Amino acid sequence: MSWRGSAWFGIVATLLTGGLFAVSIDMGPWGPLALIAPIPLLVYSLSAPRAWTVGVAAAAARAISLGGIVYVYGDGMPLPAILILNALGAGTYAIAVLLTRWCARAAPPAVAVFTYPLLLATSEWLFGLVSPHGSFGAMGYALVDVAPLLQLASLGGLAALTFCVALVPMSAAVSIAWPTEARPALIAGGIPVLLALGFGILRLSQNYESHARVALVGLDAFEARAFQGEQQDLDTARAFAAQVRAAAAAQPEFIVLPEKQLGGARLADGSGRELAAAAADVAPATVVVGFDEVLPDGPRVNSAQVLVAGKPLRRYLKRRVIPGLELGYTLGTSSYVDGTRGVAICKDMDFPAMIRDYGRQGVELMLVPAWDFVADGRMHSRMALVRGVENGFAIARAAAAGRLTASDRYGRVIAEAVTSRERPVRVVADLGLRGGGTLYTRIGDAFAWLCAALVLLLLALRAAGRLKRPG
């Protein structure tokens, strides 16, 4: 038996892949490492004599990387729900790796390199369709720091990013597992990646057509204080109103405040008046403010109030909430679009199909109040950023206990700051805008559907014994 299929290498591969996943995907800060993270595991999966050891190794490697989610969300969300979600994620990944092994070991190397990308992209897409957390956990998000490859999202959405982040390591793994067949594997896997890089570089060279100045405000010293009582809600509103007036010195067109920091789950008459007065003082700027409020007709909503001097109050109601944590809310049913500007709230941005509606309506700038969990601030802001690349709009996202992030339609972070309990934090950025949407806006998840169809074809050919390796 080769060392590639030995038990000791299986253990090493599990730890290496799990460790590299832990620092590159989900909460990991070094996304590009995801391009090499699964190589040890995939080499082992192609070489090991027994399938069950591969399944255990794959599940364990993914479980190691998912440990960061338990650490970050364990205090704020029901632990059983997190553990169940992690188990499902690890199990889904193990199935994808086992099917990769089954198909790739019988296929020519030029076909084998595409088995893992097709299976991973399809499994993540299908999981995201039924998960209450949407696309959370998808490996494609690791490419947010590789700007040229990130542009693939404008063609095929998140599934295209996952396909790419899987194609690179699978090409390397096939070449290592079967050295005599390395040449066709590297050529087959390398050509799509080079084409993707070329497309990305070309797209990144496009010019803006206009600009919009945005100001983002963070005031974590008042985080959740509005829920303590009416006076605390009013104090919080006055503190944010002062920050709105201070931000107006930079003459922004839009000022965005975090999610749910006002209202305190009651009628928000007093705090609403304070912010409306501030909006009047900073006219003609539009102020977007996150409220947790009870509307006059009774329902409790997580809302973004859109305040413009001289115009009636408009609200967007959050449509996607955190299961087990955000209970009792009446959910919104439609997108908020005003010309080429749109409004969504925090977790809404985790659902690509829903957010694609903004792209179809011609939105060029999204204004997004949010509330994070401190340690996930970077990750969650980057997930939102990918929606901008998919649909061709810039994003101004203001998160409590997270980050204030302004990004353009290409996923470039133009300005960013971490919020603080010690002092107010403000970010002002001039965001370049460009209309026209993207191919993904027009065709939706066509690439994901194509991957799913090819997976079915691949499995059928394998079951029929029609996949043949040379020699």
Say which range, 52-66, 81-95, 414-428, has the weakest mean pLDDT: 81-95
Q: Contact 406/396 with Cβ under 8 angstroms? A: yes
State the average pLDDT over residues 293-309.
93
Residue 81 has pLDDT above 80, yes or no: no
Binned at pLDDT 50, 70 and 90, residue 1 comes out as: low
Binned at pLDDT 50, 70 and 90, residue 309 comes out as: very high
pLDDT of residue 268: 82
Start-end of H helices in 23-78: 39-47, 51-73
Give the HSE-up count for residue 262: Cα atoms under 13 Å, Cβ half-sphere.
Answer: 29
State the average pLDDT over residues 380-395.
97
Token reading at 329 = 């809310």
Residue 467 has pLDDT above 90, yes or no: no
What ranges do the domains of the chain cover? 3-205+446-463, 210-433
Task: Report DSSP state, residue 17.
Answer: H
For the chain, how many helices (H) and strands (E)? Answer: 15, 13
Binned at pLDDT 50, 70 and 90, residue 407 comes out as: very high
Classified by CATH at the fold level, domain 210-433 comes out as: Nitrilase/N-carbamoyl-D-aminoacid amidohydrolase (3.60.110)
Task: Give the residue from 404, 423, 422 showing the smallest Cα distance to 414.
Answer: 404
- Position with higher pLDDT, 415 vs 68: 415
Contacts of 457 by beta carbon, 8 Å cutoff, 6+ apart: none
Structure confidence by residue, pLDDT tens digits, 332-359 = 999 999 999 999 999 999 999 999 999 9
Binned at pLDDT 50, 70 and 90, residue 76 comes out as: low
463: left (phi over 0), alpha (psi -120 to 50) or beta: alpha
Residue 75 has pLDDT above 80, yes or no: no
pLDDT of residue 89: 87
State the average pLDDT over residues 357-378.
95
Binned at pLDDT 50, 70 and 90, residue 298 comes out as: confident
Say which range, 10-14, 139-143, 240-244, 373-377, has the weakest mean pLDDT: 373-377
Binned at pLDDT 50, 70 and 90, residue 200 comes out as: very high
431: β partners: 212
β-pairing, 365-371 vs 341-343, is parallel
State the average pLDDT over residues 206-235.
95
Binned at pLDDT 50, 70 and 90, residue 72 comes out as: confident
Say which range, 22-31, 221-230, 344-353, has the weakest mean pLDDT: 22-31
Residue 74 has pLDDT above 90, yes or no: no
Rounded CA-CA distance 378/383 in Å is 9
Rounded CA-CA distance 164/150 in Å is 10
Rounded CA-CA distance 449/212 in Å is 36
Binned at pLDDT 50, 70 and 90, residue 29 comes out as: confident
Computed over every residue of the chain, the mean pLDDT equals 94
- Position with higher pLDDT, 72 vs 44: 44
